[in-house]
Chain A
Amino acid sequence: MSDWSKVTRPIPVPNEWTKPFWDAAKRESLELQRCQSCGFFQHPPFATCVQCVSVDLKFEPVRGKGTIYAYTIMYHTGDKRFASAVPYASIVVELDDAPGALMAGNLLGSQYTEAKVGRRVEVIFEKLNDDITLPQFRLAGE
């Protein structure tokens, strides 16, 4: 299994678009930007709704269940911060509640070989420091 214990992850820097996402993650809740006109969930946050161009956007909670949309297994150790975890799975997840909104993550708690397109995953939270908690994913039981 990938050894994440020695990895120093770059710390996300929230901005005016993304702060509500990180505030929610700190409470171990997943909230995505939702269009108040057409109801579409999108991620990453953007200035306008990518479906209907409305500017009326709010963050709303979503359940943390979804499927692996795509993934890659990283072998290259160019970024020394991640070298100890190599090989590791970086995945892209499509949440059940937010089709079309793609979230990046790592597959934690399993061998990297378990990453496959279509596998069920659920969100878990990895605290990086007092300000930032990172949404992550593990295989779901169902």
Chain B
Amino acid sequence: MWDNRCKIAVSGVGYSKATRSADIPLAAHALEAVRGAVADSGLRMEDIDGLATYPELPATGHAEVDGISIVSVNCMMAMLKLPSLTWHIQVGTTNIGGAVQQATNALLAGVCKYAVVWRAMHNPRGTYQNLPGNMAAGASQFTGPYGFGGPGQGMAVAYTRWLEKNGQTRDKMATLAVTQRKHTQHNPHAYFYGTELTREDYFASRMVAYPFCLFDCDIPVQGAVAIVLTTADRARDLKPTPAYLAGYGQRLHFETAGRIGSLSSYMEGGSSSAKLTWERSGFTPKDVDVAQIYDGFSASVIYGLESYGFCKEGEALDFIQDGRIELDGELPLNTFGGSLGTGRIHGLWHIIEGALQASGRAGSRQVKDVNVSFVGASAPIVTGTTFIFVKEPY
């Protein structure tokens, strides 16, 4: 087990409004989320001495303008002018989960005391994925000419492989979309709060990239979320009940650029991250009371459930049936609505919900008697990280 098990905790969390279009600069969303997380902790901005983020804009063919389409650490430093700042970092390989892990490491090293991590996501005007120009250079020379336009198709190819190899059909995925939308109705910060989804809506929706229909894809939004991380002893003195970090992991496998569709690569990415997390925390999938698994595209949940060890390969679409992933089910899943419900803010919202469920702060969507709360914060192969938060720091 990990020597630093339960020595770091998530304290406050914060959100900006998630809107469909970019009415105000993204920096304003990030600021709102960061201030919210600090206030939720009962801290003042002057107490914050660590900053971390992953600022990528996942849309292609759009300019990255700091403060407008991304919010870097430099941008946040310039806005906040924190008097106590002692540490900051921006990660590249593991999306926002990597920023949370780096903040954890910095707190353990004693180089900061209260770190804020945010993820801000821009929704550009026009087509989200748009290979600019008439040429396909770099990795896209082997995919762009064939009309592989973006991650949707990239994820879809592995999904057909999974479906047909396992003799399954996409109909069963309706359960995931409908159940998560039901959960969304308990999350007032979510984009689809107040908008229900039926099985009929799912089956009637337009196809985007088969097997993905519209409701298999998270909706691009403009918004930000943030968390405050601190050491366990400090977290106990703050306002919210802490969610203790029992263990984390990151994917240890990556695909060569331009190679798409390999199902085994998804599985290796997820299992390598989960293995570290189970070993460090001392838990197994059977111990988990509630799970958040990244769902930018619905099929990521399949790869997550299987590669993390919640069910066997080929069984995930059967596993999610019969009420198992409902709030009172055997494994309540994406209880905040997932990205399919909140809109595309990548994995920090999954981490927030994992922490809220562990600390008993999830309101009307709180799962009963949670101690072990699992998070798979990104698509297993792309940028996968995994976490376990617990209520009892034993």
> Which residues of A are interface residues toward B (Cβ below 8 A)?
7-15, 18, 42-44, 46, 50, 69-76, 78-79, 81-82, 85, 87-88, 90-92, 102-106, 116-118, 128, 134
Contact = CB atoms under 8 A, between A and B. Distances in A.
A82 B149 CA distance: 9
B209 A72 contact: yes
A79 B134 contact: no
A44 B131 CA distance: 19
Interface in B103-160: 127-131, 133-150, 152-153, 156-160
Nearest to B208: A76
A46 B133 CA distance: 25
A85 B147 CA distance: 10
B209 A79 contact: no
A74 B209 contact: yes
Given A44-B258, A74-B147, 6 more contacts: A10-B134, A12-B135, A72-B156, A75-B207, A78-B130, A102-B260
Contact of B147 (A13, A42, A88, A102): A88
Contacts of A106: 146-147
A72 B257 CA distance: 19
Contacts of A46: 256
A78 B129 contact: yes
Given A74-B153, A76-B152, A82-B149, A44 B210 contact: no
Given A78-B149, A90-B146, A90-B147, A13 B261 contact: no
B259 A10 contact: no
B115 to A, nearest CB: 36
A109 B257 CA distance: 29
5 contacts: A9-B147, A13-B136, A70-B261, A71-B157, A78-B127
Nearest to B128: A78
Given A75-B206, A75-B209, A10 B127 contact: no
Given A44-B256, A90-B157, A117-B165, A76 B146 contact: no
A117 B130 contact: no
Nearest to A113: B210
A104 B136 CA distance: 14
A12 B136 CA distance: 5
B142 A79 contact: no
A92 B209 contact: no
B164 interface: yes
Contacts of B263: 70
A103 B260 CA distance: 8
Most buried by B among A12, A13, A72: A72
A102 B152 CA distance: 18
Given A10-B134, A44-B259, A78-B129, A73 B144 contact: no
Interface string B248-270: 00000000111111110000000
A14 B141 contact: yes
Contact of B160 (A15, A72, A104): A72
B172 interface: no
Contact of A90 (B135, B148, B211): B148
A81 B129 CA distance: 13
Contacts of A76: 149, 152, 208-209
B324 interface: no
B239 interface: no
Nearest to B142: A44
B161 interface: yes
Most buried by A among B137, B147, B209: B147
B147 A18 contact: no
A70 B160 contact: yes
Contact of B148 (A69, A104, A128): A104
Contacts of B136: 10-13
Contacts of A90: 146-148, 153, 157
A79 B157 contact: no
Nearest to A46: B256
Nearest to A86: B147
Contacts of B258: 44
A12 B152 CA distance: 21
A104 B127 CA distance: 23
A108 to B, nearest CB: 10
Contacts of B150: 78
B206 A104 contact: no
B359 to A, nearest CB: 40
A90 B135 CA distance: 19
Nearest to B213: A75
A10 B209 contact: no
B210 A73 contact: yes
A88 B147 CA distance: 9
A102 B261 contact: yes
